[in-house]
Amino acid sequence: MSQKENNRDDAAILSDGALNHHPDQISQAVDKQLSSSHSSPVADTQQPSTYQPAELHHAANPSTQHEHKQYEQDEQQETVAVSTSSPDTTEYGQFNEQTDFTGNTEQQHAKKVRTSTKRTVLQYLDAVPLSTRLVSIILVLLLASSAVVGFAVRQLVGSYIIDKTDTQLMRQSELVLNNINTLQQSDRTDSMGLTDYYLQLRDSHYVIQGTPLMPVLPDGVSSAPVLPPSGSIGNIQIGQPFTTNAAVQIIGNNSRASVRMANAPWRVLAVNWTVPEVKNARGEVITQGAKGVAFIGLSLYDMQDTMQIVTKYFIAVGVATALLATVLASMAIERTLRPLKRIEKTAAQIADGDLSQRVPQAPENTEVGSLSRSLNRMLSRIEGSFIEQQRTTEKMKRFVSDASHELRTPLATIHGYAELYRMQRNYPGALERADESIKHIEQSSSRMSALVEDLLSLARMDEGRGVDLTHRTNITRIVHDACEDLHALNPERPIDLGSLEVTQIQTNNPEEAVHRLKFIQQLPPDLWMYADQNRLRQVITNIVGNIHRYTPQDSPVQMALSLIPAYMTPQELAAMNSSVESLDSFVRSAQYAAQQLHDSDNATQHQEITAPLHNYAVLRIIDHGPGLQPHDLHMIFERFYTADLSRTREKGGTGLGMAIAQSAVKAHHGLICASHTPQGGLTFTVVLPADTDSITQDQPTQE
């Protein structure tokens, strides 16, 4: 059978081998095709031949090129015939669809597995303590840095040794060329000082002429560089050093050091040398003075040994450095995280209920210091809110208890007298006794109605309702009416009506703020402002009513009303609580404003006051009764509060008068404060915002 027919059969097997042929046949066909594409159709000769690609061979041989084209056409026809006549096309398409479906399922499963693995790893990392994670990260970074630095140094050392070896080869090549004749005539044992070098000489046809120099290693081990075969130098460039493997010959038992030395690669340099003459097999001179090639090689065992030493050194130093750095990092991280552990301990104490604990302070320019400051602020607010909640709860409990007590008393009275009337209605004189019972029932119901009305007033003002600030009100007239009412109740009581003057008394005691508002015997002008007349009357009436009920009938009373400017804004005033400290802040602001106005009036040139002034209507009611104890003074505005539990019932009060007065003043965005009178008694001060656009003086007393 011809070579062409064999190629056709092999091509047919390759084209439809996956469907109709055995795998062994396919493998044999592939081997034949590969061997045919790289072999020449002519018989091999005894002369050494060089590699020639199939394309160049076909281009040089026209008959072979024609056969190759015919073979390609026949192969294409057979491939088309097989593809059109295959009975398994439909089944193969279905198989592809099933394969795609199965592949998608496998991809989804693999994606789920990756997601689950990633989630598991993240959960594991989240469970690792922060200090351990930081130390691990530092250790990994140090090891990676050591590896990178070691690799870079290793490469630099290797490049340096290669460059040094190339320089040695260049120098030795000059020595070899100068002594080429001597080297050709010497034997291998006489190396002339070049025992570490390898030297091979080739003529102009690259045929090996000899190896004058061959290093001999210990234990009879020989090593030489792997070079192209005789008659060829491959793609080696003249004058360019290159690295090649070693061809090792081992005889007998040898040490590992000798074998390792022999297996080291070689650095080889190819240089041209002048061949005196080239003879054929019959001894005839073919050429003279032709250029041959000399290969000069030097083993890189020293480079390998140096690289191993450098690698071991960097591994040892890197591991030692990483371990030492890990220990130091652990100590530093433990010290750095110590404030966080203190914060954790403080948080545990707070969780146990001790809200007074605070996080230890740290420098504010650090993250821990900023965190400590924020946590302490949060804890202070939480503690304040908790204390306020406790106070509110206690107030609510006391309010419910007091309200129940106040409502139970008149209800019990009503129930008792109604039952008494029912029991005595059949006895003689029942009509007179019935009138007395009805009178007590009426009094108790009136007291209960007043209590309910006070509670409703407080509820409305707490909700922001029940106060109308759209009408202009004459404050002076309300104070005059209160004086007349108190005089009608106690004709023998001395009552003085006057004004207030801000003095420049300087003191750091808030209790003495009352001294800086001096009472003067001067009737106040008519002051008009937008206010709720009924609520302001209720405030003054409640204060005057307490004076009537709880002070001696002959104790003097002073009432004063004035318009006082101050630098304090109405918003700041409304945010203050009913305490002497708040009154002290207002009086200080009024003192500063009075001083500025006085200096401006006395200056030779007009001095402009840049800060805005605000006008305030200040009412002060001073009594000289028994007063209150210091621990009772700050509770005077509490609902149902009374210093004597029996006083409210004896005097007919409900215990809500001062609470209503405070709510009414707060609804006007003002301040009410109770303080001790210097000679004994109580002093009530009411401050109401009254700017110039909503107040006029000396208006007629008509609304």
Stretch among 219-228, 264-273, 421-430 having the lowest mean pLDDT: 421-430
**Residue 459 pLDDT greater than 60, yes or no:** yes
pLDDT at residue 702, rounded to an integer = 34
pLDDT at residue 35, rounded to an integer = 46
337-466: CATH, from 1.10.443.10, 3.40.190.10, 1.10.287.130, 3.40.50.10810? 1.10.287.130
State how far the Cα of 139 lies from the Cα of 535, in Å rounded to an integer: 76
pLDDT at residue 47, rounded to an integer = 38
| Highest mean pLDDT (candidates 12-21, 441-450, 678-687) | 678-687
Stretch among 41-55, 199-213, 515-529, 599-613 having the lowest mean pLDDT: 41-55
pLDDT at residue 685, rounded to an integer = 94
- In percent, the amount of the chain with pLDDT more than 90 equals 14
Put the strands of the sheet holding 517-520 in their side by side order. Answer: 517-520, 495-502, 557-566, 614-623, 682-689, 671-676
CA angle 12, 17, 23 (to 5 degrees): 130
Nearest 5°: phi and psi at 12?
-65, -40
Q: Shortest CA distance to 657 belongs to which of 545, 549, 547?
A: 545
pLDDT at residue 41, rounded to an integer = 37
State how far the Cα of 635 lies from the Cα of 633, in Å rounded to an integer: 5
Model confidence over 26-37: pLDDT tens digits? 445 434 444 444
pLDDT at residue 524, rounded to an integer = 87
* Mean confidence (pLDDT) of the chain: 76
Model confidence over 83-142: pLDDT tens digits? 444 444 444 444 454 555 566 788 888 888 888 888 888 777 777 788 888 888 888 888
| Highest mean pLDDT (candidates 447-451, 604-608, 691-695) | 447-451
pLDDT at residue 292, rounded to an integer = 85
CATH of domain 467-697: 3.30.565.10
Spatial contact of 264 and 304, defined as CB atoms under 8 Å apart? yes
What is the average per-residue pLDDT within 299-328? 88
User: Tell me, what amino acid is at 369?
Assistant: G
Q: Shortest CA distance to 146 belongs to which of 304, 328, 330, 320?
A: 320
Fold classification of 159-307 (topology level)? Beta-Lactamase (3.30.450)
DSSP secondary structure letters along 578-618: SSHHHHHHHHHHHHHHHHHHHHHHHSSS-----SPPEEEEE
Stretch among 203-207, 642-646, 662-666 having the lowest mean pLDDT: 642-646
* Cα of 49 vs its chain's centroid, Å: 74
Q: 């304040």: which residue's tokens?
A: 384
* Diameter of the chain measured on Cα atoms: 180
